[in-house]
Amino acid sequence: QVKPQFESKENRNCAMFTAIVYKTQVVAGINYFIKVQVSDTEYVHLKVFLGLPHENQGPSLVSFQTGKTRDDPLTYF
């Protein structure tokens, strides 16, 4: 659900957009830190916020880090 947000902010189209691993952080909602494969050799780390259910809002791309590899550790940022 955040692929269009990433593509818009990064000004590119991703033929591949596969989540590899994720971590969560509980706040007033949930922060998801997701490692996503965007090409054969390129990965990005996404920070996605999902608000509380009563807020009726979908996931929102908060920030991202590009230039990652499959072996880079997924950390909170």
How many residues are recorded in the chain?
77
For residue 46, the tally of other CB atoms under 10 A from its CB is: 23
| The model's pTM | 0.86
Task: Name the CATH code of domain 1-68 (choices 3.30.300, 3.40.50, 3.10.450, 3.40.960).
Answer: 3.10.450
What CA–CA distance (Å, rounded) separates 40 from 24?
Answer: 26
In the chain, where the domains are located: 1-68
As a whole-number percent, the residues of the chain with pLDDT over 90 amount to 81
Provide the 8-state DSSP code for 70: T
The whole-number pLDDT of residue 59 equals 93
Residue 36 Cα to chain centre, angstroms: 7
Neighbours of 9 (CB within 10 A): 12
CA-CA distance, 20 to 51, in Å (whole number)? 23
Residue by residue, pLDDT tens for the chain (77 residues) are 899 999 999 999 999 999 999 999 999 899 999 999 999 999 999 999 999 888 888 899 999 999 999 999 998 88
